[in-house]
Amino acid sequence: MSIEGTHGGEGLMSEQQAARWLGVSRITLLRARMAGRIGAYRIGTRVLYSEEKHLRPFLAACERKPRDARKGVRA
């Protein structure tokens, strides 16, 4: 399902595969890349994503932490 890369044997994913892995549409992934929120490798006309280098950090950056119940509450 992934393309074998030569960079340390790291598997690379196409834009469609990466979008499926993230659970978003390809256009959503494209918009995130164009906005600079996710990195990618560009080889000729191909755009490839590494799970470890691009996808997992993107997910971590999107994570929303629950707010502390005491914040914003006036005593």
Give the total number of structural domains in the chain: 1
Residue 18 buriedness (CB in 10 A; 0-12 / 13-18 / 19+): buried
Does residue 1 carry a pLDDT above 90?
no
Tens-place pLDDT, residues 12-55: 999 999 999 999 999 999 999 999 999 999 999 999 999 999 99
Domain containing 17 equals 3-62
What torsion, rounded to 10 degrees, do the Cα atoms 41, 42, 46, 52 define? 0
The answer to the question of residue 72 being in a domain is no
Residue 56 buriedness (CB in 10 A; 0-12 / 13-18 / 19+): exposed
Does residue 69 carry a pLDDT above 60?
no
The answer to the question of residue 68 being in a domain is no
Q: What is the pLDDT of residue 49?
A: 98
For residues 9 and 6, give the distance between their C-alpha atoms in angstroms, rounded to a whole number. Answer: 5
Q: What is the pLDDT of residue 31?
A: 97
